Amino acid sequence: MYHLADQGIEYAQKAISADRAGDYENAIKYYKIAVDFLSKYLVLYPDTPLADFYKELISKYKNRISVLEKMMVEKSRVEASPSTSTSNQIDASIFEVLKPEQRAKKTFNDLVDLESVKRALKRSVIYPVKDPSLYPLGWPKGILLFGPPGCGKTEITLALANEINAVLLNVSPANIMSKWLGDTEKNVKALFNIAREYAMKGQPTIIFIDEVDALFQQYSVEIGGEKRARNQFLIEMDGLASKEHAKIPLFVIGATNKPWNLDIGFIRRFERRIYVPPPTREVRKLLFEHYTSKLANTFQLEQIDYDKLADLTEGYSSSDIVSIVKEVQNNIVEEINERNLKPADRKVRTEDFIEVIKKHKPSIDQRLLDVYKEWNKQYGTYSED
């Protein structure tokens, strides 16, 4: 078995290398992971002969994290423009604000699948926005979409925003984590302040946080930004239920492939927790039909055996199927160019898809499907039963 202590030392070495290279952001991340592993090891093996040594390392890494976080904060302040003095202006760059006219116009009707998810979102978001007077007890403000990767969590959120003509504030860990070092609370507060400004004017507003588990997962040792981010976020979520804000059209939607990593306090704030499952056989068939039909505008199609393609792609996600059809397109275009053919000379055949499927492995880990279903039984709040 690969020991926790070994993993801790491995990440510590990565942290030290990043630290020496001046990559302080990754150094902080790796130091924290090292502390996490070593602390877990000491909990399991408190009498190990190396206990004092590991405790000294943990203390050393914590101190270094504190120093690096302060350096990052100072650097951020030095680089900040004097002209952007208000908190909303300073922090607007941590997320993307997409107004209705700035997005593709896809709606629920453009999505081949996810009928149960659509229904859950209609009940939780669309109907309250359509007629809030029908909800004297209020409606859910927090929604968690969870399930395997590539099954449509982001796509259905974008479609939902178009269904209610909402302003969409798009947030991801990649573009906010470094800015949350030291200034965490201020940036979370700015995010919600801007969202409330739109919503209080009657404009439906969605805060969408992709890969939300990367921001609000559980740590055995909590240091710096993660704890402050979660605490401020929970405060802001609680504020949405206050009398002042209970009836404004503001929703927070989180998406995750790893719901079991989420902090329990965070889970409770999301009143609707909706499982986004992988496509069934029938849906896979519809997906192949839908995307292959787009090729028919350019190429001639033979009689495609969609049933066979659906059977061959058990365990594939919706995005996997889109990738397969695109690869078939690329292969045909390559053949046309290499053989100097005309598009009409090269028909699209079932065999073209089969060859690609043989080389394209599914992105869904089948071993985790039972874990998703069990988590849904324990924490999910919507079922088609």
Share of the chain above pLDDT 70, in %: 86
Average pLDDT value for residue range 127-152: 95
Residues whose CB falls within 8 Å of the CB of residue 300, separated by 6 or more in sequence, listed in order: 344, 346, 347, 348
Q: How confident is the model at residue 1 (pLDDT cuts 50, 70, 90)?
A: very low
Q: What is the pLDDT of residues 166-176, one digit of tens each?
A: 999 998 766 66
Residue 357 — pLDDT band, cuts 50, 70, 90?
Answer: very high
User: Of 225 and 4, which is predicted with more confidence?
Assistant: 4
pLDDT the model gives residue 88: 44
d(Cα 91, Cα 232) in Å, to the nearest integer?
Answer: 15
Which amino acid, 363? S
Which of these, 75, 166, 78, 86, lies nearest to 128 by C-alpha position? 166
pLDDT tens, residue by residue, 52-62: 888 888 988 99
Do residues 139 and 121 touch, judged by C-beta distance below 8 A? no
pLDDT in the model for residue 348: 96
Whether residue 365 has pLDDT greater than 80: yes
Whether residue 2 is predicted with pLDDT greater than 80 in this model: the reply is no
Region 254-280: what's the mean pLDDT? 92
Give per-residue pLDDT as tens, 186-195.
Answer: 778 888 999 9
Instruction: Provide the pLDDT for residue 241.
Output: 81
pTM for the structure as a whole:
0.74
Arithmetic mean of pLDDT, 157-168: 96
User: So what's the pLDDT on residue 73?
Assistant: 74
> What domains can be seen in the chain, in order of their start residue?
4-79 (1.20.58.80), 87-278+368-379 (3.40.50.300), 281-363 (1.10.8.60)
Which range has the worst mean pLDDT, 83-87, 111-115, 340-344? 83-87
Mean pLDDT of 159-163: 96
Report the C-alpha gap between 335 and 98 in whole angstroms. 40
**pLDDT for the residue 50:** 82
Residue 35 burial class via C-beta count within 10 angstroms: exposed 0-12, middle 13-18, buried 19 and up: buried
Tokens in use for 116?
């149960």
Query: Is 372 a residue whose pLDDT tops 60?
Result: yes
How far is the C-alpha of 332 from the C-alpha of 355, rounded, in Å?
12
CA distances from residue 133 to 124, 239, 247 in whole angstroms, order as listed:
14, 21, 9
Q: How far apart are CA 22 and CA 307, in angstroms?
A: 55
pLDDT band at 128 (very low <50, low <70, confident <90, very high): very high
| Among 88, 69, 57, CA closest to 24 | 69
Question: If pLDDT is split at 50, 70 and 90, which confidence band does 359 have?
Answer: very high
Closest CA to 251 of 171, 177, 196: 196
Q: How far is CA 214 from CA 150, 153, 209, 218, 286, in A?
A: 17, 16, 10, 10, 33
The answer for residues whose C-beta is within 8 angstroms of residue 359's C-beta and 6 or more apart is: none
Phi, psi values for residue 275, rounded to 5°: -80, 125
Is 319 a residue whose pLDDT tops 60? yes
Query: Tokens 């986004």 label which residue?
Result: 276
- Assign 314 a pLDDT band (cuts: 50, 70, 90): very high
Q: Is the pLDDT of residue 218 over 80?
A: no
Alpha carbon 254 to its chain's center:
7
| Beta strands per DSSP E along the chain | 96-98, 142-146, 167-171, 205-209, 250-256, 272-275
- The pLDDT value given to residue 45: 83
pLDDT at 200 over 50: yes
95 vs 147, residue with greater confidence: 147
What does the pLDDT read at residue 385?
43
Report the distance separating Cα 192 and Cα 207, nearest Å. 8
- CB 302: neighbour CB atoms within 10 A? 11
In whole angstroms, give the CA distance from residue 14 to residue 20. Answer: 10
What's the token pair of residue 82? 């004097």
Rounded Cα distance between 173 and 156, Å, is: 20
How many H-runs (helices) and E-runs (strands) does the chain carry? 16, 6
Whether the CB-CB separation of 326 and 372 falls below 8 Å is answered with no
CA–CA gap between residue 96 and residue 259 (Å, rounded): 24
- For residue 69, the model assigns a pLDDT of 83
Q: Is the pLDDT of residue 31 over 50?
A: yes
Going by C-beta distance under 8 Å and a sequence separation of 6 or more, which residues neighbour residue 229? Answer: 180, 184, 188, 215, 216
**Summary mean pLDDT of the chain:** 86
